[in-house]
Amino acid sequence: MKKYRIYINDNTLYITATAPELITEIEPLEVEGFYFPSFYKRLSTVSGKSYLLIDKDPQALFKSIKKSCTIIKAAGGLVASAKGRHLFIFRNKRWDLPKGKVEKGEKMKEAALREVEEECGVKIYTNGDKLCKTYHVYTLGTKIVLKKTNWYSMTVKGEPKLIPQKEEGITKASWLGKDELKPIIANTYPSIMDVLEAGELLEQRVL
C-alpha cells in the first residue's frame, strides 16, 4: 500500500491507510470534505506540526491533492566518494543536496546527473538506483506548487575537489562522513532527512 509524506514549510502531511508509527504528536484530519488549498492556507501561520489523513486508498487521495496544485518535477543525487563520504551543499543558509528542475524533454535520472555536475563541479562516475521521492509544497505567485523530486544514488572516482555553483546561491560544497552529519541534521530540510534515511546514512524516523 502506497504511503505519502508531503512537506509544507516545516509542517508534514502524512497520507496512509494506517497510522504511522513513532510520531507522538500528530493531528488527524477528516478525509471527507478535505480541500488541500484551504488546508495549505491554514498552514501559513503554523510551523513544526504533523497532520494525518487516513484513507483505504491513499493513492487516489494523493492524486486528488495533486489536481489542486501545479506540478513541478525536480531531481537530485546523494553522491558517495571512493572514501565513503557524501557530498553536501550549503545554500540559502541551510545544508542541502544538489538538485534542480527537470528540463523539457529531459528524463528525471538525466536531470539529476546534470544538476549534480553543474552545482558541484564534479564528474559523476555512476548514476545508480532511485533512492526515494520527496514532495514539497510552496507558493509561486498565486499558484500552489507541488514539487516532486526523484533522488538517485551516485558515485564519483576518488574524492574530487568541489566547485560550488555560486550563481545558484551555493556558498559551500563539502564531503562529509557518516560521523560528521550532526551539523547537517541540525540545519537542513525534512525532505533531505528522507533522502539520508533512504541512503542508510540515518535511522528511519517514521512511516
According to the model, what pLDDT value does residue 22 have?
60
- Asked if residue 52 and residue 82 are part of one domain, the reply reads no
Answer whether 137's CB lies under 8 Å from 7's CB: yes
Q: Does some domain include residue 206?
A: no
According to the model, what pLDDT value does residue 23 have?
60
Answer whether 72's CB lies under 8 Å from 113's CB: no
Region label for 131, one of left (φ > 0), alpha (ψ between -120 and 50) or beta (otherwise): alpha
Question: CA–CA separation, 145 vs 136, rounded Å?
Answer: 8
Question: CA–CA separation, 175 vs 111, rounded Å?
Answer: 22
Q: Does some domain include residue 43?
A: yes
Q: To the nearest whole number, what is the mean pLDDT of the chain? A: 94
According to the model, what pLDDT value does residue 205 have?
63
- Asked if residue 186 and residue 86 are part of one domain, the reply reads yes
According to the model, what pLDDT value does residue 206 have?
55
According to the model, what pLDDT value does residue 25 have?
84
- Give residue-wise pLDDT tens across range 174-186: 999 999 999 999 9
CA distances from 100 to 72, 140, 154, 162 (A): 10, 16, 15, 18
- Asked if residue 110 and residue 183 are part of one domain, the reply reads yes
C-alpha cell at 43: 498552514
- Asked if residue 120 and residue 90 are part of one domain, the reply reads yes
Answer whether 99's CB lies under 8 Å from 115's CB: yes
According to the model, what pLDDT value does residue 79 have?
98
* 3-class DSSP assignment, residue 29: coil
Beta strands in 108-193 (DSSP E): 126-140, 143-155, 170-176
- Asked if residue 174 and residue 94 are part of one domain, the reply reads yes
Domain span holding position 54: 4-67
Q: How many domains does the chain have?
A: 2
Q: Does some domain include residue 207?
A: no
**CATH number, domain at 163?**
3.90.79.10
- Give residue-wise pLDDT tens across range 144-177: 999 999 999 999 999 999 999 999 999 999 999 9
DSSP code for 111: H
Picking from 38, 67, 96, the residue at the C-terminal end of a domain is 67
Report the candidate in 55, 27, 57, 32 with the shortest Cα–Cα distance to residue 42. 27
- Give residue-wise pLDDT tens across range 62-116: 999 999 999 999 999 999 999 999 999 999 999 999 999 999 999 999 999 999 9
Question: CA–CA separation, 100 vs 27, rounded Å?
Answer: 32
